[in-house]
Structures are given as structure tokens and as C-alpha cells.
Amino acid sequence: EEVLRLQRELYAAYSDDTFQQQLEDVESRHGKAYKQYSAEHTKLFLTVQDRILPKYGFAEGQRGVVQMLDDVKRFNGNATFEQNRLELNRLIGLAPEAEEPRDAPLVEATLTAA
């Protein structure tokens, strides 16, 4: 399913050591995004999103992020999609980290729109 490919591609890019170091730098100044979201968080997230989202038909910039969020909301209620979304959000500091670390952060499955 295309939405799972998108999630996997975002996860791989956000997991990149360089991105994670840049995220640590932003978080050292502003905190985790879920607590203190800043323009620096947005700018950093867009370095990944602007490379990946256009491959899936979305615009670059915040407009593309809004388009993507609107498009994938049809999968809300799907456990696989929601678990993957949570893991992505944890990876970039948009959600608190899990109590216990997971070895396989993204779930592989077939999705159907709700």
C-alpha cells in the first residue's frame, strides 16, 4: 500500500544519523516538538518532507504536509497506520517516547481506508 511506503520512507529519512543530530540540536534549544514546537522544527522536518512528499503527488512545503495529512486521514482508525504514525511522531519528537523500545518500529500490513 502506498501510504505504508510513504511511512517507511519518512521513517528511514528521519532515522538518518545526520537528521537525528540536527534534531538533537534543535531540541537542545527548543525542547521536544510535542512540548515546544518551533519554526526550527518545521524547517528541519521540511528538509525531509520536501524530498519525499512530491514523490507521492504532494506539493513541497507546508502546503504539501497539509495535503498529505488530509489525504491519509482516511486511514485513521486503522491500527497499522496509527501505530506507524505514532512511531514516526515519536522518532521526530512530536509524541513522547514509548515506555519500552521496539525492535521493529513500523508495522508491515495491508491497509484499507476506513
**104 part of a folded domain:** no
**20 part of a folded domain:** yes
When the pLDDT of each residue in the chain is averaged and rounded to a whole number, the result is 91
Whole-number Cα distances in Å, 107 to 13, 79, 112: 17, 9, 14
> Do the beta carbons of residue 46 and residue 32 sit within 8 Å?
no
Confidence label for 1 from pLDDT (cuts 50, 70 and 90): confident
Report the pLDDT averaged over residues 64-86. 96
Q: What is the pTM of this model?
A: 0.83
Cα torsion 23, 31, 61, 110: sign: positive
> Do the beta carbons of residue 45 and residue 92 sit within 8 Å?
yes
Domain count for the chain: 1
Report the pLDDT averaged over residues 83-92. 96
**109 part of a folded domain:** no
Confidence label for 103 from pLDDT (cuts 50, 70 and 90): low
- The predicted pLDDT at position 34 comes to 93
**107 part of a folded domain:** no
Helix (H) or strand (E) holding 7: helix 2-15
Strand, helix or coil for residue 78: coil
